[in-house]
Amino acid sequence: MKNIRDLTLPELKEYFESIGDKKFRAIQTYEWLWKKNVRYFADMSNLSLTLREQLSKDFFIRTISTDAIQQSADGTIKIRFKTEDGHLMEGVLIPTEKRFTACVSSQIGCSLTCAFCATGKMDRIRNLEFDEIYDQVAILNEYCEKHFGQKLTNIVFMGMGEPLLNYKNVLKSIDRITATDAMAMSPKRITVSTAGVAKMIRQLGDDKVRFNLALSLHAATDKKRDEIMPINESNHIDVLIEALNYFYQLTKNDITLEYILFKDKNDSIEDAEQLIKVYRKIPTHLINVIEYNPVAGVPFVKPNEDTTQKFTDYLAKHRVNVRLRRSRGKDIDAACGQLANKGTVAS
């Protein structure tokens, strides 16, 4: 049996012709799969019972299920998903006054071992398939409509895992998310965040993707970045700068630098000066300065408000487009760097 969502619409039409049925049944089925997000052939009510039984004999629909849900005091919703083979990963719905953002995972676990990240303490079990990623977005969108009466406005690939180490499935999921016969989300409302895989950043440029890119920088010198992000040892900052310029040259898509502040580690004015130097070398439109979120067993601390303000003010004074991103969902371990399949309660 094949996963029916691996088939393109033309392939699905060929299938219906091969069983002696009409091509328009393919369009009906495709709509059930990608617009209405049904997970069982029995629910495709405008298909005959005989046809639904035939489909269930020839195909399966790979699904994920909602395993647990938590809601933060600030309205953020974290959902723990379970795959059909029993693995867990998390997605987050982040509501603000003007935006409703889905933060989705691309891998089960992670292999990068960033020193500040809870996910980095987990083993990478496997990549998520493209339709498992799509279903995270679909389910988070359902919750957004249910709780806030709105559809998602934005999607960020900033959950568990490194998206560019699951390149094929991430791009295929975005293709479906943005397709007019599926979710029809604008690619300009999608941001893929990477810890810095220079080769794959260049590949994004070659593939002329239409979504935006964020680099999790977090330190502006190789010495400091090596200490907190082992991936930097094989993807030095100058190599990343070259890759990001190549990406922008071919796509003209927005690039954001993400920079978590750690007390006495990367929060000095000297660190800000080094960050400005990197900023000047990249066609980036924004630096997101991010509050550090505590992770058990990790020896990093959030700087005080005065230090944070001085850091961001220094950047702004030197004509850097900077935004301080306040963390949301900290009380349910849903904030940046906290996702680790724990602390949730049964739904």
Return the active site residues.
Answer: 90, 336
Q: What is the spatial distance between Cα 109 and Cα 234, in angstroms, rounded to a whole number? A: 21
- Determine which helix (DSSP H) or strand (DSSP E) holds 102, and give its type and residue range: strand 100-103
Q: What is the spatial distance between Cα 293 and Cα 158, in angstroms, rounded to a whole number? A: 15
> What single letter denotes the amino acid at residue 141?
N
Q: What is the spatial distance between Cα 174 and Cα 39, in angstroms, rounded to a whole number? A: 19
- Determine whether 197 is exposed, middle or buried from the number of CB atoms within 10 Å of its CB (0-12, 13-18, 19+): buried
Q: Which residue is listed with tokens 């949730």?
A: 344
Residue 156 near residue 193 (C-beta atoms within 8 A): yes
3-state secondary structure of 134: helix
- Determine which helix (DSSP H) or strand (DSSP E) holds 189, and give its type and residue range: none
The residue among 323, 100, 332, 120 whose CA lies nearest residue 214 is: 323
Q: Which residue is listed with tokens 């699905």?
A: 12
Q: What is the spatial distance between Cα 15 and Cα 140, in angstroms, rounded to a whole number? A: 31
The full DSSP string for 256-269 is: EEEEE--TTTS-SH
Residue 248 near residue 283 (C-beta atoms within 8 A): yes
Q: Can you read off the two tokens belonging to residue 220?
A: 């502006």
